[in-house]
Structure 1
Amino acid sequence: MTQPSTVLILGARGRFGMAATRAFAQAGWQVLAQLRPGATGPAIPGVLWLAAEPGDTAGLAAAAQGAAVVVQGLSPVYTHKAWRRDLPGLTQAAIDITRALGATLMLPASVYNFGETMPALLREDTAQAASTFKGRMRIASEAQVRAATQDGRMKAVVIRGGDFFGSGTGSWLDEVMVKDIRRGKLTYPGPMNVPTAWAYLPDMARSFVEVAGRRDHLPAFEMFHFAGDQLTGQDWADALAEIAREQGWVPAGGKLRASSMSWLLMRALGLVLPNVAALCEMRYQWRTPHALVNTRMAVLAGAEPHTPFPQALRTALAELGLLTPRKENAVKKSTVTMQAFERSAS
């Protein structure tokens, strides 16, 4: 395995970028973490924050001399207009700095590429037949990267995962599913019995580290799947119910209320909110069973990093500030019980 070296993370303050920054630093890499001028990043051992625009190829190349890997954590905001305007340019910015460094570009990808007719098992060679605007944009972006590898000045690796959760805000988990969890309610985007692919971001970021360390064994362009977890809405409800009882969000022995999100309301909101309209076209993913098969990843690096789902969920909820520490929660319950006893005895 290639010895750890230096990695440049583009968009290191974003959700995936931050997960990648932490994963590479924990693995002993020297991490150069790009963020926009004026922004700041947390102090992390082994991480040097670089304030620069993504398109400042000369400046970034000078600051990142010696970086062997570039991780693309840049992404447009979630509207069609932003993706059409910004995605090709952000992809080209990542290509330009990677070529200037003679490095390997790594970028996360989604299941958008496969479209509404996707089969239940998604392999690396499964035909991509995007049925949405974002799916077609993703296909074009990956093709743009592949084309840039043809003259030998850079390598590129695409790692595809399911819906992200963990490592902060901005996912279905915090924006929809657990927004009312403290009132004992789960709102799920689809039918409760349909299994779909999920990627716990810290694990997916660790898979980037594993592949980056083996980059010398890869062809000019390679694609991997990160299997992650295949979960139904009921799986989420069961795991959350245990936490909800522990946290006092539902009574001991009580049930977590679970309901499906109103797509009719979402479509109505989409008439005035472009980001909601963009989400609505992805509804098919929640009605179509699918899982990612990680054959190539397993051959290259063995078993992929995997945090057990209940543990990953707890960590994700804690990062969202939703969990009361167990000891504190136990004291709170004990105090409530004692107060009830004293009232009954008086």
Structure 2
Amino acid sequence: MRDTVLVLGANGRIGRALVDAFAAAGWRVRAQMRREPGYTLPAGVSPVICDALDTAALIEAARGADVLVNALNPDYTRWRELVPPLAASVLAVARASGATLMLPGNVYNFGAELPSLLTETTPQVAHTERGQIRIALEQQMRDAAADGVRSIVIRAGDFFGGGPGSWFDLVIAKDIAKGRVTLPGPADVPHAWAFLPDLAQVFVAVAARRAELAPFETLHFAGETLTGAQLHEALQQVCGRPLKRGQLPWWLLRLASPVVPIFRALAEMRYLWLRPHRLDDTRLRRLIGEPPHTPLSRALAASLASIHSDAVVTAVAA
């Protein structure tokens, strides 16, 4: 019998990648979304059209599921309003179904003084509201383990690939068709990245070994660690031409913050571009072996192709 997974937020970037990865691995996949899918679902995937706050509908959708993935991604400016009730709904579904709950984590939990190497035991001392919300969310999962709810957090750096909606496409590669790359931070600061298709395959691999884990577990996916200069050079190689390098005008975001909430939210996260950091994936490797890793040139080419309709990529390394 094949295992069954219910992916919550399947219309989002990480949700789409997870649906594709689980389906490709032979799982029976149920894909929850608020509206009809904005893309063609893989063959055999069952759509579940309902709001993620409709707990009763989700409990029904999760009947018989072995794994439940919380890939819900509320609007960045509405986390305080939406994340707590969504988390409560998801935990109720996990408790009722007995499915193992999985969550994509991020590095917000470690605050402005985050060390250069992030392990699963690095203290979580977030100073931003979003970091505090993420810490509370994971703590609720940890507490629920005492009631028999098994859960796994897989933490990764900033996403790229899988379409628009990240720092990579909204800032760094936004004007690449015009021959320009925009860096959010100094060119010599290492930054953690995760290519979404690789991260999704990590979820599948960990889900297959879930019985070997503690009731609550956190794992880190290292992905790519790149300085701005290294990313710039890699993009030039993929595009096959020189690209001008500029800096994000943070002063403009701060100036507009009082009237543009998303700018205020983004400005709060500037520290992540000023502090060097990478994730240690030793525990993940111990569990699944060598993590999936698409060569950087191919990952960048696929990412650019997913956000630009014009031919910005003229040469792709094999």
Shorter-chain TM-score bucket reads: over 0.9
Aligned-partner Cα distance in 1 for 2:35–2:224: 36
Aligned-partner Cα distance in 2 for 1:206–1:221: 20
Cα deviation 1:305-339 (Å, max 9, x = unaligned): 1111111000011111345397xx69xxxxxxxxx
Question: What SS does the corresponding residue of 2:147 show, helix, strand or coil?
Answer: coil
Determine if contact 2:238/2:297 at 8 Å carries over to the other structure. no
Determine if contact 2:186/2:274 at 8 Å carries over to the other structure. yes
The correspondence of residues 16-31 of structure 1 with structure 2, limited to 5 A, is 16-31=14-29
Q: 1:127 to 1:43 in 2, by over 3 A?
A: closer
Aligned-partner Cα distance in 1 for 2:244–2:39: 38
Aligned-partner Cα distance in 1 for 2:6–2:243: 43
Cα deviation 1:184-205 (Å, max 9, x = unaligned): 1001100111111001111111
Question: What SS does the corresponding residue of 1:223 show, helix, strand or coil?
Answer: strand
**Alignment match, 1:50:** 48
- Structure 2 regions of 5+ residues with no counterpart? none
Determine if contact 1:75/1:90 at 8 Å carries over to the other structure. no
Aligned partner (choices 191, 204, 207) of residue 209 of structure 1: 204
Alignment partner of 1:104 is 2:100: yes
**Alignment match, 2:124:** 128
The correspondence of residues 228-243 of structure 1 with structure 2, limited to 5 A, is 228-243=223-238
- Letter aligned with residue 180 of structure 2: K
Question: What SS does the corresponding residue of 1:149 show, helix, strand or coil?
Answer: helix
The 10-residue stretch of structure 1 (104-113 or 268-277) with the greater mean CA deviation from structure 2: 268-277
- Letter aligned with residue 206 of structure 2: V
Q: 1:310 to 1:38 in 2, by over 3 A?
A: closer
**Alignment match, 2:187:** 192
**Alignment match, 2:266:** 279
Aligned partner (choices 63, 66, 80) of residue 65 of structure 1: 63
**Alignment match, 1:333:** none
Aligned-partner Cα distance in 1 for 2:218–2:59: 26
- Letter aligned with residue 292 of structure 1: L
Quick one: percent identity of the two aligned structures? 48
Determine if contact 1:156/1:220 at 8 Å carries over to the other structure. yes
Determine if contact 2:304/2:312 at 8 Å carries over to the other structure. no
Aligned-partner Cα distance in 2 for 1:262–1:180: 14
Determine if contact 2:9/2:15 at 8 Å carries over to the other structure. yes
Determine if contact 1:29/1:46 at 8 Å carries over to the other structure. no
**Alignment match, 1:293:** 280
- Letter aligned with residue 317 of structure 1: L
Give the deviation of 1:239 after TM superposition.
1.4
Give the deviation of 1:78 after TM superposition.
0.9
TM-score of the pair, normalised by structure 2: 0.95
Alignment RMSD (CA, Å): 1.6
Alignment partner of 1:264 is 2:251: yes
Moved over 2 A (4+): 37-41, 55-64, 242-245, 321-326
Alignment partner of 1:222 is 2:256: no
**Alignment match, 1:76:** 74
Larger Rg: 1
Determine if contact 1:4/1:213 at 8 Å carries over to the other structure. no
- Letter aligned with residue 230 of structure 1: T
Determine if contact 2:239/2:312 at 8 Å carries over to the other structure. no
Question: What SS does the corresponding residue of 2:311 show, helix, strand or coil?
Answer: coil
Alignment partner of 1:114 is 2:117: no
**Alignment match, 1:155:** 150
TM-score of the pair, normalised by structure 1: 0.87
Cα deviation 1:161-216 (Å, max 9, x = unaligned): 00111111110111111111111100110011111100111111110000000111
**Alignment match, 1:336:** none
**Alignment match, 1:341:** none
Question: What SS does the corresponding residue of 2:76 show, helix, strand or coil?
Answer: coil
Aligned-partner Cα distance in 2 for 1:120–1:60: 39
